[in-house]
Amino acid sequence: MSEIEKILKKYYGYDKFRKDQDKIINSILDNKDCFAIMPTGAGKSICYQIPALMLDGITLVVSPLISLMKDQVDSLNALGINAAYINSSISINEVNKRIDDCISGNYKLLYVAPERINTEYFLSKVKDLNISMVAVDEAHCVSQWGHDFRESYRYIYPFIESLEKRPILTAFTATATEEVRLDVIKLLKLKNPDIYVTGFDRNNLNFKVLRGVNRKDYIMKYIKDNKDSSGIIYAATRKEVDSLWTILNAKGFSVEKYHAGLGIEERKLAQEKFLYDESKIIVATNAFGMGIDKSNVRYVIHNNMPKNIEAYYQEAGRAGRDGGKSECLLLFAPQDVVLQKFLINQNDVSIERKKEEYRKLQFMVDYCHITGCLRQYILKYFGEENVEDSCGNCGNCNSELELKDITIEAQKIFSCIYRMKERFGVGTVAEVLRASKNKKVLDMKFDELSTYGIMKEYKLQEIKDMINMLIAEEYLNLSGDEFPVVKLKNISIAVLRGEEKVIQKVEKRKAKKVKDDNLFEALRVVRMNIAKKENVPPYIIFSDVTLKEMTEYFPGNKEEMLNIKGVGEVKYSKYGEEFMNAIKDYQGKNQNGEIEVS
């Protein structure tokens, strides 16, 4: 076992490094600047925490959010690693004390908010610190191209420059379009950095898109079936958040709400109740999430389609950070497209930027209509190469699909588009096919076309869905921005000529079974009690994945306990006993037949 593997096992209780973690750590230990792009939940923190433990002096971690900082420091202290943080939430006396403690060598890691490092005071104090590394978390915040630009991130480089000895500089992010990537390297002046792009796949997440369901009913049923799990429900507007919350709350679910229209205190309280597992569910707009480190979110439901794949993947990616199986559901309805276009149009930005946003929106719309692998679609969008055609773990790969030949329908649609001279959008084409008497249709004399009403047996929405699917599957082109027009492609002509077939996959739905797990429940109670005593969120004690492993292996002694993923020496000595007792209790009762396990 290498030195770094020993540390991983001893402190964190993990046996193996995840992809790239060991390489990044070794780069840092070789004194190299590093830039790591890893998806949420891939385990960025360990990449700088382990070197921090091994390097001589102290590591400063620049982190953007106060809540995140406290969380990370609590987690480290729970592992037996000495760390502290300073930000605006603590008094000047306390800041002084913590920095002095750093100078005396009491801490290996100091988390600082970026706006701190610009102050004269901080600069004068850190002169006496032996800073071996500066790790910049959420490094994309330095770039204006990113979606979370923060002015204060621009202080980081001048700060590094002002230090007598240049520390190793490392940067971490989950978001990285090419533009942002180059910007981070340039603005932080990373010196000939080792760059690691771990890939975007999150194989524990199951993606699924549902079209045309009654969203409220669906959500209600889903959370009932998953009542013991934590989940986030994203909705597009404050109004929708309020209305969903009201319904769920009235039904007696433990649910919080979060959006920018609520007061700071109210938001903070909602967030904390969710983090501490006091409420299982939070309904929120996209204002919620940045810096939410809660590791045991088991599902993220999008009540509405977001504005682009980047935003979707980031929000959905808040599920399953602990590596446990989790679901990401998107409930699509056509109104979502209208709303997103309205929002883009309302934005006070250049025409160029709007065009770009319409383009990105279309990728999102396509995601909601493809019948192929959803994971493959996302990974390809992020420029990943050599992606498998079928992941076997998404709604489209999993569902029992029926193949249906829709060549005739496609021919009807294509020929209608042709006769309408390729100058109209999805809605109007569908109306003509359905024989609508709408004014625009009649004014244009479309009722005189031979294709008028040739799909009368379908509902309007079904025809629109079919056209959208044909766009997503690249049988049709969509051009233009705010009011896009459907156009034929070479392949559509081939279909019209009868040279190509169009096969659609249609889903058969199956009901989900609820799993009963009494031991897991019992262990969660133990965890909750400890968490309350120590005033930290439960997942800081142990993650869901760790508890699940305990329910599989029934550890009964120290050695067995240390073999459980996520149990290191310090945590064992603090909590091992209590959890082993709960397991013994459970086994005892089961032998006596008190609990029935289904």
Judged by the rule CB under 6 A, the positions of this chain that interact with ligand ADP are: 14, 16-18, 21, 38, 40-46, 293, 295, 321-323, 543, 565
Q: CB-wise, 331 or 397, nearer to Zn ion? A: 397
Q: CB-wise, 183 or 293, nearer to ligand ADP? A: 293
Q: CB-wise, 41 or 555, nearer to ligand ADP? A: 41
Instruction: Give yes or no for residue 83 binding Zn ion (CB under 5 A).
Output: no
What binding mask, one character per residue, do residues 332-371 give for Zn ion by CB under 5 A, x or -? Answer: ----------------------------------------
Q: Return the axis-axis angle of helices 21-29 and 44-54, rounded to nearest 10°.
A: 30
Chain centroid to CA 171: 20
- Rounded Cα distance, 12 and 4, in Å: 11
As measured in angstroms, the least distance from the Cβ of 133 to ligand ADP is 16
553 binds, options Zn ion, ligand ADP, none, Cβ within 5 to 8 A by partner type: none
As measured in angstroms, the least distance from the Cβ of 168 to ligand ADP is 19
Residue pair 423/478 in contact by the 8 Å Cβ criterion: no
Size of the site for Zn ion (CB under 5 A): 5
Query: Which among 257, 299, 291, 249 has a CA at the least distance from the CA of 274?
Result: 257
- CA distance readout (Å), 498 to 30, 411, 489: 63, 9, 14
295 binds, options Zn ion, ligand ADP, none, Cβ within 5 to 8 A by partner type: ligand ADP
Q: CB-wise, 426 or 564, nearer to ligand ADP? A: 564
As measured in angstroms, the least distance from the Cβ of 372 to Zn ion is 8
571 binds, options ligand ADP, Zn ion, none, Cβ within 5 to 8 A by partner type: none
Instruction: Give yes or no for residue 202 binding Zn ion (CB under 5 A).
Output: no
As measured in angstroms, the least distance from the Cβ of 548 to ligand ADP is 13
Alpha helices in 452-543 (DSSP H): 460-472, 490-496, 518-534, 538-541
46 binds, options Zn ion, ligand ADP, none, Cβ within 5 to 8 A by partner type: ligand ADP
Of the CA atoms within 13 Å of residue 451, those in its CB half-sphere come to 22
- CA distance readout (Å), 481 to 199, 333, 430, 486: 31, 20, 19, 12
As measured in angstroms, the least distance from the Cβ of 367 to ligand ADP is 23
Name which of residues 368 to 397 contact Zn ion (CB under 5 A).
373, 375, 391, 394, 397
Q: In whole angstroms, how large is the CA radius of gyration of the chain?
A: 27
Q: CB-wise, 43 or 576, nearer to ligand ADP? A: 43
Read off the tokens for 82: 């000495």
375 binds, options Zn ion, ligand ADP, none, Cβ within 5 to 8 A by partner type: Zn ion
Read off the tokens for 367: 């995601």
45 binds, options Zn ion, ligand ADP, none, Cβ within 5 to 8 A by partner type: ligand ADP
Name which of residues 268 to 307 contact Zn ion (CB under 5 A).
none
Q: CB-wise, 390 or 529, nearer to Zn ion? A: 390
Residue 462 CB contacts under 8 Å (≥ 6 apart), including other chains: none
- Compute, in degrees rounded to 10, the torsion defined by CA atoms 229, 233, 239, 242: 10
- Rounded Cα distance, 23 and 2, in Å: 13
326 binds, options Zn ion, ligand ADP, none, Cβ within 5 to 8 A by partner type: none
Read off the tokens for 113: 């908010």
43 binds, options ligand ADP, Zn ion, none, Cβ within 5 to 8 A by partner type: ligand ADP
Residue 75 CB contacts under 8 Å (≥ 6 apart), including other chains: 540
As measured in angstroms, the least distance from the Cβ of 83 to ligand ADP is 14
146 binds, options ligand ADP, Zn ion, none, Cβ within 5 to 8 A by partner type: none
As measured in angstroms, the least distance from the Cβ of 517 to ligand ADP is 20
Distance separating the N- and C-terminal Cα atoms of the chain: 41
Place of tokens 């070479």: 490
As measured in angstroms, the least distance from the Cβ of 336 to ligand ADP is 28
User: Residue 68 belongs to what H/E stretch?
Assistant: helix 66-79
538 binds, options ligand ADP, Zn ion, none, Cβ within 5 to 8 A by partner type: none
Q: CB-wise, 245 or 382, nearer to ligand ADP? A: 382
The dihedral built from the CA positions of residue 347, 353, 359 and 364, taken in this order, carries a sign that is negative
373 binds, options Zn ion, ligand ADP, none, Cβ within 5 to 8 A by partner type: Zn ion
Q: CB-wise, 142 or 337, nearer to ligand ADP? A: 142
Residue 191 CB contacts under 8 Å (≥ 6 apart), including other chains: 33, 169
Q: What backbone phi and psi angles, to 5 degrees, belong to 234? A: -95, 135
As measured in angstroms, the least distance from the Cβ of 295 to ligand ADP is 5
Q: CB-wise, 141 or 373, nearer to Zn ion? A: 373
Per the DSSP assignment, residues forming a β-bridge with 197 are 37
Q: CB-wise, 46 or 244, nearer to ligand ADP? A: 46
- Rounded Cα distance, 57 and 133, in Å: 8
As measured in angstroms, the least distance from the Cβ of 110 to ligand ADP is 18
Read off the tokens for 56: 């001589």
As measured in angstroms, the least distance from the Cβ of 201 to Zn ion is 11
Q: How many CB atoms lie within 10 A of CB 511?
A: 7
What is the side-by-side strand order in the sheet with 281-284? Answer: 205-211, 326-332, 297-302, 230-234, 281-284, 255-258
391 binds, options Zn ion, ligand ADP, none, Cβ within 5 to 8 A by partner type: Zn ion
Q: CB-wise, 4 or 168, nearer to ligand ADP? A: 4
**Nearest residue (beta carbon) to ligand ADP:** 43
As measured in angstroms, the least distance from the Cβ of 210 to Zn ion is 15
Residue 320 in 3-state DSSP?
coil
Q: How many CB atoms lie within 10 A of CB 206?
A: 22
Instruction: Give yes or no for residue 328 binding Zn ion (CB under 5 A).
Output: no
- Rounded Cα distance, 322 and 294, in Å: 9
Query: Which among 357, 312, 317 has a CA at the least distance from the CA of 331?
Result: 312
Q: CB-wise, 41 or 395, nearer to ligand ADP? A: 41
363 binds, options Zn ion, ligand ADP, none, Cβ within 5 to 8 A by partner type: none
- Rounded Cα distance, 462 and 468, in Å: 10
Q: How many CB atoms lie within 10 A of CB 135?
A: 28
As measured in angstroms, the least distance from the Cβ of 488 to ligand ADP is 44
- In order, the DSSP letters of 451-466 are TTTTTTTS-HHHHHHH
Q: CB-wise, 323 or 427, nearer to ligand ADP? A: 323
Q: CB-wise, 180 or 397, nearer to Zn ion? A: 397
As measured in angstroms, the least distance from the Cβ of 36 to ligand ADP is 9
| Contact residues for Zn ion, defined by CB under 5 A | 373, 375, 391, 394, 397
